[in-house]
């Protein structure tokens, strides 16, 4: 999975005490899925029992990577990708559910979010192997025949998937980080830890309040490749934030930026003024996938779909002379910290 660098900045939080019970922040961090994770929990120290929590978090993250990474040849999704066409491949209930969810989001976003873009992602050099040459129009035409939600058939009785041809290739990179965040959130809740911020590769889910007793302050960055500059700060409790952008993971051909977001309708990297899209949703997997969909749809159509789905979104657009313009959907404003 190509996991890009962080799109958000995390605010440091302090410790507080109430009613003689020490409530402290405990942090967990490390690397996974080619990126980093940062988790902060506010709880009584005795609740966190940090060594076993740290181990459980690592285990959950490695579990998702082992199932959904196209970068691991022995992952479940890679097994599906290597399978011949026409045969049903049984999957775990978890990976099967992710494919079902991905198809649902594909319908909702008018085809913009499409995990079957794998062959195109790989051809444009954003898959496990580096790009040698950009694909020719003939190559693209051939690859596009392998792309589309109708190229995978899901059998929910047996949790099996049948590809229409061997070359059909599912890429979960735009949803798996969000799913990993959700899984860690569930894990923390199962341990009765209900005030936390979980972040994997820039996708974040917050629950409860931070140590200062207010919603978690999360900063969305300005979409610039160099350094980290604040664009907007949102206050989040019981909600997730994902940001997609083409300002970290890209390369240039003849001075033109080649984005890692592929428009399934054209087979090509997107090319419009949208520099980043941030989406809020209860489930981080959905926020993650919708954010990629917004990057495909572009500023106008993306906002139309966001309003239809009642999604709180913020877009940052490239303006004239290196400036930026922001646009927010109707429901985004109430999360902004003034």
Give contact residues for Mg ion (rule: CB under 5 A): 174, 244, 288
Among 205, 260, 268, 281, binds ligand ADP (CB under 6 A): 260
Span near ligand ADP by CB under 6 A; candidates 1-9, 50-58, 224-232, 315-323: 1-9
Q: Minimum Å distance from CB 181 to ligand ADP?
A: 11
- Cα separation, 319 vs 275, in Å, equals 10
Among 64, 193, 211, 296, binds ligand ADP (CB under 6 A): 296
- Cα separation, 102 vs 17, in Å, equals 43
Among 76, 108, 171, 182, binds ligand ADP (CB under 6 A): 171
Choose between 4 and 159: whose C-beta lies nearer to Mg ion. 4
Kindly write down the DSSP assignment for every residue of 262-312, as one continuous string. Answer: EETTTTEE--SSEEEEEEEESSHHHHHHHHHHHHHHHHHHHHHHHHHTT--
Q: Could you say which of Mg ion, ligand ADP, none residue 216 binds, taking C-beta under 5 to 8 angstroms by partner kind?
A: none
Q: Residues in the chain, how many?
A: 338
Among 96, 113, 179, 196, binds ligand ADP (CB under 6 A): 113
Q: How many residues sit in the footprint of ligand ADP (CB under 6 A)?
A: 24
Which residues partner with 276 through β-bridges? 245, 316
Alpha helices, DSSP H only, in 124-271? 137-144, 173-190
Tokens of 11: 């605010």
75 binds ligand ADP (CB under 6 A): no
Provide the 3-class DSSP secondary structure of residue 155. Answer: strand
Angle, helices 93-108/50-68, rounded to nearest 10 degrees:
70
Q: Minimum Å distance from CB 208 to ligand ADP?
A: 25
Among 219, 288, 302, 317, binds ligand ADP (CB under 6 A): 288
Choose between 25 and 243: whose C-beta lies nearer to Mg ion. 243
Q: Could you say which of ligand ADP, Mg ion, none residue 196 binds, taking C-beta under 5 to 8 angstroms by partner kind?
A: none
Provide the 3-class DSSP secondary structure of residue 104. Answer: helix
Span near ligand ADP by CB under 6 A; candidates 18-26, 60-68, 112-120, 147-155: 112-120
Is the distance from CB of 284 to CB of 182 less than 8 angstroms? yes
258 binds ligand ADP (CB under 6 A): no
Pairing, β 152-155 against β 324-328: unpaired
Q: Which chain residues interact with ligand ADP by CB under 6 A?
A: 2-4, 112-115, 117, 121, 126, 171, 173-174, 177, 244-245, 260-262, 264, 288, 291-292, 296
């Amino acid at each position: 999975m190509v996991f890009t660098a962080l799109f958000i900045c995390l605010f440091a939080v302090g410790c507080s005490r109430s009613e003689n019970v020490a409530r402290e922040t405990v942090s967990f961090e490390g690397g996974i899925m080619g990126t980093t994770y940062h988790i902060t929990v506010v709880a009584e120290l005795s609740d966190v029992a940090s060594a076993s929590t740290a181990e459980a978090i690592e285990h959950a993250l490695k579990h998702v990577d082992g199932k959904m990474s196209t970068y691991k040849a022995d992952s479940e999704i890679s097994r599906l990708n290597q399978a011949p066409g026409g045969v049903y491949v049984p999957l775990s209930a978890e990976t099967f559910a992710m494919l079902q969810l991905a198809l649902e989001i594909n319908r909702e976003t008018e085809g913009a979010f499409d995990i079957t873009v794998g062959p195109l992602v790989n051809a444009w050099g954003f898959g496990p192997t580096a790009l040698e040459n950009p694909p020719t129009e003939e190559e693209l035409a051939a690859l596009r025949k392998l792309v589309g939600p109708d190229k995978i058939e899901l059998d929910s009785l047996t949790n099996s998937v049948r590809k229409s041809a061997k070359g059909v290739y599912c890429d979960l990179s735009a949803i798996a980080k969000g799913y990993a965040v959700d899984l860690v959130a569930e894990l923390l809740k199962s341990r009765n830890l209900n005030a936390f911020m979980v972040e994997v590769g820039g996708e974040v889910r917050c629950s409860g309040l931070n140590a200062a007793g207010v919603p978690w302050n999360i900063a969305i960055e300005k979409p610039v490749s160099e350094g980290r500059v604040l664009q907007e700060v949102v206050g989040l409790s019981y909600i997730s934030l994902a940001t997609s952008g083409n300002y970290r993971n890209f390369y240039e051909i003849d001075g033109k930026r080649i984005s890692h977001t592929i428009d399934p309708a054209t087979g090509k990297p997107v090319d419009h003024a949208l520099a980043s899209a941030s989406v809020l949703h209860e489930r981080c997997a959905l926020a993650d996938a919708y954010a990629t969909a917004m990057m495909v749809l572009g500023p106008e159509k993306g906002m139309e779909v966001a309003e239809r789905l009642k999604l709180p979104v913020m877009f940052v657009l490239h303006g004239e002379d290196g400036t930026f313009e922001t646009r927010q959907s109707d429901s985004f404003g109430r999360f902004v910290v003034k």
